[in-house]
Amino acid sequence: MENTIDAKDRKILLELDRNARKSDSEIAKKTNLSKQVVNYRINKLLEKKIISNFYTIVNVGALGLNSYYIFLQLEKINKLKEKRLLNKLNSLPYTGWLVSGTGKWDAVLLIYADTIKKFDERLNEVINLCGKYLHDYNFTTLIGSEHISYKFLAETRELHSVKQTEKMKLITLDEKDKKILEVISQNARMPITEISKKVDLPVHVVNYRLKSLIKQKIIEGFKPKIDVNKLGYQWHLLLIQFQNTTKERKKQFIEYCKNHKNIYYVTNTVGLYNLMLDIHVNDVRDFKEVLLDLKDNFSDVIKLYESLIIFDEYKISYLF
């Protein structure tokens, strides 16, 4: 069911999207609303499930992990059995993201692993879990991605992105930092005082450690998980394989995508696909217009593409 939001809700969502840890008072100043109105409207957005939660984005590459996307095509499975299977995949401790939809692939799963051997073990576990229902699968490895703002919230095209990287370096976290990340993983707006109680550390220590995690770019941002379908938008995932073209042209294409009014997330990968684009549109006709626009401007870059419409986002987590 589509929910309508007004200009005030959009302003609040925009501020939350830029930094979900902003206090009600900070958001009130930015939106010219009272603190009470901000608090009321955020609670209403949660109640309507337009926002399901607030999550913390951790750059797992900085912690020695690679990110792998697994594409699953299922067969001989009914709605109930598919839901049970997706719930099992969702519960795997190394699952970072899981969506389902319709297209060539029925589900896309993101998993973390520190070595190729570990990835192979986890891939086999996923395959075995799917069992007789798995018709086909493939995977790609993340090189880098940019989590761009929900562009439908703002009138301007101001870019405010959060980056993810492949395994780059190894920063070792102690148990106290891990506890803090665990507590705020799916509750990014939790007040410092509450975090302090949950991790059994003084407020000033939690505050210092949070700032340090942000400074080291281990924490890359804090975001609201918004159900775009409830706002009347379709979410399409466009999977692109590149032609044999120049590095400069590929770079131009990626920059064009990042600035495109309908593209929300840009993921550069190696494997079956080279680029994954999360696209928000009003309907299939609008999606076709985006696709034609990309093909018209970059026919020398795009070799082939697949797409799926995302209906359900089961999980987005950067715990490891």
Q: Look at residue 11 and tell me if it is in a domain.
A: yes
Using H for helix, E for strand and C for coil, what is the string for 219-250?
EEEEEEEECHHHHCCEEEEEEEEECCCCHHHH
Q: Look at residue 180 and tell me if it is in a domain.
A: yes
Asked whether residue 306 falls in the same domain as residue 178, the answer is no
Which pLDDT score is estimated for 169?
67
Asked whether residue 74 falls in the same domain as residue 38, the answer is no
| CA separation for the pair 243, 303 (Å, rounded) | 5
| CATH code of 20's domain | 1.10.10.2890
Q: Look at residue 181 and tell me if it is in a domain.
A: yes
Tell me the one-letter amino acid at 16: L
Domain count across the chain: 2
Asked whether residue 119 falls in the same domain as residue 26, the answer is no
Tell me the one-letter amino acid at 38: V
Chain segment 237-262, per-residue pLDDT in tens: 999 999 998 999 999 999 999 999 99
Asked whether residue 277 falls in the same domain as residue 303, the answer is yes
Which pLDDT score is estimated for 158?
58
Asked whether residue 232 falls in the same domain as residue 277, the answer is yes
Instruction: Write the CA distances from 111 to 184, 235, 260, 286, integer angstroms.
Output: 20, 21, 28, 31
Q: Cα–chain-centroid distance for residue 32?
A: 29
| CA separation for the pair 142, 61 (Å, rounded) | 10
Which pLDDT score is estimated for 3?
61
- pTM attached to this predicted model: 0.92
Counting every residue written for the chain, the total comes to 320
Asked whether residue 142 falls in the same domain as residue 102, the answer is yes
Q: Look at residue 316 and tell me if it is in a domain.
A: no
| CA separation for the pair 276, 293 (Å, rounded) | 16
Q: Look at residue 254 and tell me if it is in a domain.
A: yes
Asked whether residue 100 falls in the same domain as residue 40, the answer is no
| CA separation for the pair 250, 92 (Å, rounded) | 35
Asked whether residue 12 falls in the same domain as residue 141, the answer is no
Q: Look at residue 120 and tell me if it is in a domain.
A: yes
Helix-helix angle 203-215:175-184, to 10 degrees: 90
Q: Which of 180, 211, 226 corresponds to the end of one domain?
A: 226
The two tokens of residue 102 are: 């319709």
Asked whether residue 41 falls in the same domain as residue 190, the answer is yes
Report whether 269 contacts 240 (CB < 8 A): no
Q: Look at residue 2 and tell me if it is in a domain.
A: no
Which pLDDT score is estimated for 183?
96
Which pLDDT score is estimated for 148?
85
Asked whether residue 146 falls in the same domain as residue 234, the answer is yes
3-state secondary structure of 55: strand
Range of the domain at 295: 65-150+227-311
The two tokens of residue 209 are: 């450690």
Q: Which of 226, 248, 266 corresponds to the end of one domain?
A: 226
Q: Look at residue 319 and tell me if it is in a domain.
A: no
What per-residue string of b and e applies to 274-310 under the rule 16 or more CB within 10 Å gives b? bbbbbbbbeeeebbeebbeebeeebeebbeeeebbbb
Which pLDDT score is estimated for 1?
46
Report whether 68 contacts 113 (CB < 8 A): yes
Asked whether residue 21 falls in the same domain as residue 93, the answer is no
The two tokens of residue 76 are: 């001989």
Using H for helix, E for strand and C for coil, what is the string for 103-140?
ECCCEEEEEEECCHHHHHHHHHHHHHHHHHHEEEEEEE
3-state secondary structure of 305: strand
| CATH code of 124's domain | 3.30.70.3460
Asked whether residue 281 falls in the same domain as residue 221, the answer is no
- Give the chain's residues under pLDDT 70: 1-3, 155-161, 163-169, 320
